[in-house]
Structure 1
Amino acid sequence: MRSGLILAGGRSTRFGGEEKSLMLIGGKRMICRVVEALSPVVDEVIISVRDERQRGLLSPFVSGREFVFDEIHGIGPLSGVRAGLKRAKGEYVAVVACDMPLINGAAIGLLFDVAEGHDAAVPVHEGGLIEPLHAVYRRGTMLDAVKKSIEAGERKISAPLRRLKDVVYVPDDEIRKVDPGLDTFLNVNRAEDVELISRL
């Protein structure tokens, strides 16, 4: 069984408090795009949110999906990863951000295949930049690594990777085989990104 975890609990401070995951990209809500891309390659989709209020905002657009809530506040996305991994049923979990509206299902499927037998499959770009929020993790070992990172006061989303013993880093050339433009990694950080990505 394969699970998908979408992290949607960010505060959207650069959007004036507007719910970023509900921004329209090409006429479709961003969270809907991510759910639709993940659904064909996983057996369950879990959405991590801050609280009940945020679930209330998102649930009309993603009905039937399971939600988890941050149990520890003020530590960033690691809290959402922890909650999602605890709930997931699959041995391997794709962890993605809600602000990547062009996520490519084939790219996620490739990462699942690469991760098999390892602790994680994490994309790495030329220059060494990694994509921990567009990656596939073995649920048990990653959950343990996340818990230890939180206990150690580490907040970076990449921190748990240092605690995993068997991580496969997947270069751009491999991802390009299924997504030639690497659009799967594009994310919405600012309001102007919405228009740019909508044109794509």
Structure 2
Amino acid sequence: MRSGLILAGGRSTRFGGGEKSLRLVGGKRMICRVIDALCPVADELVISVRDERQKELLFPFIRGMEFVYDPIKDIGPLSGILAGLERARGDYVVVVACDMPLINTAAVRLLFERAQGHDAAVPGHAGGLIEPLHTVYHREHMLRAVKESIAAGESKISAPLMRMKDVVYVPDEEIRRVDPELETFLNVNRAEDMERIKLKK
């Protein structure tokens, strides 16, 4: 079984406020685009949100999904990942952000395939940059690593990866075979990024 975890609990401070995940991209809510990309490759989807109030904002647009709430405040995405991994049932889980509206289904499928038998399959760019929020993790191994990182006071999203022994790094050239422009990694951090995304669609 494969699971998908969508992190939607960020406060969008760089975006300028409002519920960023509900902004329209090409006529569709951003988080709905992410859901549509993951549904063909995941048997279940879990949505991580800050609290009940945020769930109420999202629920009308994404009924039928499982929601989890941040169990620990003010530590960033690791809290949402912790909650999501505890709820997910798949052996492997793809963890993505809600603000990546051009996620490529074939790229996610590739990562699931590359992760099989390993702790994680992480996209890696030239210069050492990685995409921990576009990665497939072995659920049990990642859950343990997240708990250890939080206990150690680590909040970086990449911290749990440093605690894993068998991580596969998938280079750009491999991802380009299914996504030539690497659009799957584009995200919306600021309002001006919306224009960049619109030019792509």
Query: RMSD in angstroms over aligned alpha carbons?
Result: 0.6
Greater Cα shift, 6-15 or 71-80: 6-15
Counterpart in 2 of 1:123? Answer: 123
Matched, 1:133 2:126: no
Return the letter of the residue paired with 1:199.
Answer: L
Taking the aligned partners of 1:14 and 1:109, their CA distance within structure 2 comes to 31
Matched, 1:54 2:54: yes
**Which whole-Å deviations, capped at 9, do the CAs of 1:46-94 have from their partners, x for residues lacking one?**
0000000000000111110110000000000000000000000000000
Contact 2:10–2:50 at 8 Å: present in 1 too?
yes
- 1:14: Cα distance to partner? 2.0
Counterpart in 1 of 2:6? Answer: 6
Taking the aligned partners of 2:128 and 2:39, their CA distance within structure 1 comes to 29
Return the letter of the residue paired with 1:86.
Answer: E
Counterpart in 2 of 1:35? Answer: 35
Contact 1:26–1:199 at 8 Å: present in 2 too?
no
Give the 3-state SS of the residue equivalent to 1:41 in structure 2: coil
Contact 2:120–2:135 at 8 Å: present in 1 too?
yes
Give the 3-state SS of the residue equivalent to 1:137 in structure 2: strand
Taking the aligned partners of 1:16 and 1:156, their CA distance within structure 2 comes to 23
Counterpart in 1 of 2:77? Answer: 77
Counterpart in 2 of 1:65? Answer: 65
Counterpart in 2 of 1:149? Answer: 149
Contact 2:16–2:190 at 8 Å: present in 1 too?
no
Counterpart in 1 of 2:160? Answer: 160
- 1:26: Cα distance to partner? 1.2
Give the 3-state SS of the residue equivalent to 1:15 in structure 2: coil
Counterpart in 1 of 2:113? Answer: 113
Return the letter of the residue paired with 2:14.
Answer: R
- 1:124: Cα distance to partner? 0.3
Give the 3-state SS of the residue equivalent to 1:75 in structure 2: coil
Taking the aligned partners of 2:50 and 2:147, their CA distance within structure 1 comes to 18
- 1:27: Cα distance to partner? 1.3
Taking the aligned partners of 1:47 and 1:199, their CA distance within structure 2 comes to 28
Taking the aligned partners of 2:146 and 2:48, their CA distance within structure 1 comes to 15
Counterpart in 2 of 1:186? Answer: 186
Counterpart in 1 of 2:96? Answer: 96
Taking the aligned partners of 1:110 and 1:22, their CA distance within structure 2 comes to 27
Query: How much identity, in percent, do the aligned residues show?
Result: 74
Return the letter of the residue paired with 1:188.
Answer: V
Give the 3-state SS of the residue equivalent to 2:127 in structure 1: coil
- 1:199: Cα distance to partner? 2.0
Contact 1:34–1:101 at 8 Å: present in 2 too?
yes
Taking the aligned partners of 1:109 and 1:39, their CA distance within structure 2 comes to 11
Note the residue ranges of structure 1 that are not aligned, 5 or more in a row: none
Taking the aligned partners of 2:45 and 2:137, their CA distance within structure 1 comes to 15
Return the letter of the residue paired with 1:111.
Answer: L
Which structure 1 residue ranges, 4+ long, deviate > 6 Å from structure 2? none
With normalisation by structure 1, the TM-score equals 0.99
- 1:198: Cα distance to partner? 1.6
Contact 2:119–2:138 at 8 Å: present in 1 too?
yes
